[in-house]
Amino acid sequence: MINEKQKLIVEDAKYPCAVLAGPGTGKTFTIVQKIISLIKNDGISPNKILVTTFTKKAANELIERVESGLKKEKIFADTSNMLIGNFHSLALSFLKEYKSFTNKIFDPLVIDSHIEGYLIEKNMDIFENLPNFSKFISYNEVGQIQGIFANITNNLVDLDELRNSNNPRDILALEIYLAWANFLDENDLINYQLILKKFYDLLKDPFYGKKIRDRIDFVIIDEYQDTNTIQEEISFSLCKGKNLMVFGDDDQALYSFRGASPKNLRDFDKTCKMKMKRKANFYHIDINYRSNQEIIDKSRQFLVNSNAFDLEKIKNLKANDGEKNENSVVRARANEYENIEYIVKFLNKKINLNQIAFLFPSLNSDYPKSLQTYFENHGINVLNKSSKLFFKRREIRLCLYVLISIFSKKPKKLTGSNPDKYKWTQETNFKKYIVSIFDDKEFTKNEELNAYIKEEKLIIEENKSYTDILYKAFGLEIFREILDKKIDKLNSIRELSNIGKFTSILSDFTNLCGYDINYYKKSVDLIYGYIFYLFKNSAVSEFENFDAPKNSVIFSTIHQAKGLEYDVVFVSSLNDNPRKDMRAFSPKLEAAKESDFLKNYYRKYYTAFTRAKNLLVLLDNSKNSYIKNFAFSLNSSSILKTIDFKFKEDIVKKEILAYTTDISIYKSCPLKYKFIRVLDFKKEKSKSLEFGSKVHSLAEYLTNLKKENLSYHAINDFIKENKEFQKPIENFVNRNFPIKHSEMNIKLDRFSYILQGNIDIILEDGTIIDIKTGKADENNLISYKNQLLTYYNLLVYNNKKVNKMILYFIEEDKLIEVEKSDFDMKNIDEIGKNIVEKNIEIKTQDKKQCKFCPMAYFCKRT
């Protein structure tokens, strides 16, 4: 049921506006209802509503709920190309569509902060040669370089101001920024900051900015308190009028260390007056559907007693059921492990263990490690989302044993060589780690494993890729005993997903290096460069994309728990104390924000407390006097039987599934789907596959040029330098297709899942064309035809007319028309249902499907 304040926002809000939504107040529900109302009552097309969320996961949940909501209300609206995503995914989609803005024909490779850190470290000479570098940057060079680059881009620092500054730090910051931006551009790479900067530049361009704004009638920004300067600017630049609605809660602002500021939310009215010449409207939703009133009141009291906040601005939330149980908030002795064990096991009689979370400021302290060890020794499983343990795991040591035994030698010297003591220690620790793997008796005594390694070393000149060697090793018994496990228990989830992560590490490295590499020569850089960097920075986390099994409690950081809820929450603040955000490298790089470090500290624990639904337990081991005193103000015991705990039913989450990446793979083999899609086992692209991808990108680029009536001038220059692409380009241009739509993303709610497809081209007469590379043959035609028939049905079910269906093999310049035969949507639905229900342990009986499957050695189908 929608409450009155939500109803006002959904049906009668005046724009621009900010919705202040406290924890548990049904914010996502309100956003969904708002989107549906805009479509139903205001007649706005779904693809003219742009919504940003904090994460991709939140975006997918929003899409699913909007699709389901429209279906439930029997609203037949065209939901193709909906603009729902996080800032970065939306930015990338617009940059991809308007490539003519940059004249970059191929998409740059997106790199995360860890890959970027490795590349900076590897190319440190770029920076060391800059004037004053060693004078101002003498430690944590990688972190400082990344920080300088992020501050300049996130805060939209004027480069001319730095250039004209008398401060040598400003000059150095500018040189670092320009050097790294140039490196990324020359190597066709893009980091997260540049994604937003390039999108910002696109929006500021008079021609392209107007084109984008003309496509958008309404903008909704979620988690506005965690936006930074460039995200705020993008939010306003997306609007051509007043139709902007932001959602946020400054009491839950957690990301000041990334440059985000709740000031954006607090000053929303001021910004609207400046940028829109309009006064902002403010709305509040304050009925909490999550927590007992006692948890709500004590959480508020925590903020009030801190004296860091204006009393009248602290939200006064009310529990939906009005119930207040003084037993819902309690303190417990942190070091009395037996008592905590007793509480957890008592609760487990009433709820599943995964309804219990232990939240910490960090998982790297001794206390969570010690408590986890105690729990595991006493029969309580713990899902720990730390990134400290990845390289210590047996399954990762095993993967590394295979690679280092083939490509490397046991280090003779066990100490580092760097004169810097800290870096020397890091090098020494890694060498000792590598030696411990070489000397691991479980591995050295395994005859089958070492026979395989010996065999591969003899044929090393064949230049097999790292993943080829690892996937072949999956056929060995020592790997098979791991890979044979089902995804149902904590340890098996960890082992399987960690091996998947390791394949990603190898494929990421190869993709960075390119395809014409000597794997043996590059192995030193892989092991003592990239893997060493990940190792020393504890950069690989575990259980990232997996929910906790029923029989495991959750250990998480407070930041990781943002947006989540648990029946029972234990909070320990450990040695955490308020501390100022790190100063920027120079004053000109600072964001325009007040120093909020005290408030940020209290907000963090307010966010932690408000994750709890029925029971909040503060552990008494805080070193901070305020939190310590607050804990001691709470009851030291609780009558747990007075709390209405309930076992949480298993909820089968509705997923968004695509034909090519989901349905088709599952259809070929459910077990293959398990490894490739669920566990994310990766393999680098082959040279031919990369060429095909680039041809497809070229077709997309040409299509967008044609749609915008723009010149092919840039493509002519490209052909001169890349003759291998001349024929497919000429084939496509000479066809002169009358294009109406391109890259249309279309979705359909199918009860247990949402089916989606991405249609390459729709012609003016309703003909759909799917562009293919390579040659047409019997092996791929059946799958390609089924793909087109799926797209046909997606369009028909969405009330769109389809004329013909054509497969276009661009390299051969060959058109194959696909007949509108009877299409078994029930079969697709059955596959979708099986995917959602995780029926993924069945191996295909059709051995022809195994020919190109990377798991063929594991399945003994080679």
Could you list the residues known to form a binding site for ATP, using ranges: 21-28
- Alpha-carbon distance values, 573 to 192, 535, 557, 613, 778 (Å): 31, 27, 10, 20, 62
Distance CA 591, CA 584 (A): 9
Give the angle 748-753-754 at the CA atoms, nearest 5°. Answer: 25
Question: Is the peptide bond prior to 16 cis by the omega test (within 30 degrees of 0)?
Answer: yes
Distance CA 777, CA 186 (A): 38
- Which is nearest to 624 in space by CA: 645, 641, 639, 602? 602
Distance CA 605, CA 456 (A): 53
The torsion angles phi and psi of 555, rounded to 5 degrees, stand at: -105, 120
Task: Describe the crossing of helices 337-347 and 366-377 by its angle, rounded to 10 degrees.
Answer: 60
CA dihedral 789, 795, 796, 799 (to 10 degrees): 180
Contacts of 95 (CB under 8 A, 6+ apart): 101, 102, 195, 198, 199, 202
User: Are 228 and 259 spatial neighbours (Cβ–Cβ below 8 Å)?
Assistant: yes
- Which is nearest to 252 in space by CA: 3, 21, 505? 21
Distance CA 656, CA 449 (A): 40
- DSSP per residue, 7-28: HHHHHH--SSEEEEE-TTS-HH
Locate tokens 């320990």: which residue? Answer: 572
Q: Given the DSSP bridges, would you call strands 244-248 and 17-21 parallel, antiparallel or unpaired?
A: parallel
Distance CA 458, CA 555 (A): 46
Contacts of 146 (CB under 8 A, 6+ apart): 113, 116, 117, 120
Known binding-site positions = 21-28
Distance CA 371, CA 383 (A): 12
- Alpha-carbon distance values, 46 to 76, 252, 313 (Å): 11, 30, 35
Distance CA 268, CA 16 (A): 9
3-state helix, strand, coil in the chain (%, to 5): 50, 15, 35
What single-letter DSSP state applies at residue 62? H
CA 86 to chain centre: 9
Locate tokens 């099994």: which residue? Answer: 549
- Which is nearest to 676 in space by CA: 690, 689, 687, 666? 666
User: Are 744 and 758 spatial neighbours (Cβ–Cβ below 8 Å)?
Assistant: yes
Secondary structure of 700-727 as H, E, C letters: HHHHHHHHCCCCCHHHHHHHHHCHHHHH
User: Are 288 and 317 spatial neighbours (Cβ–Cβ below 8 Å)?
Assistant: yes
Decide: helix, strand or coil at residue 762: strand
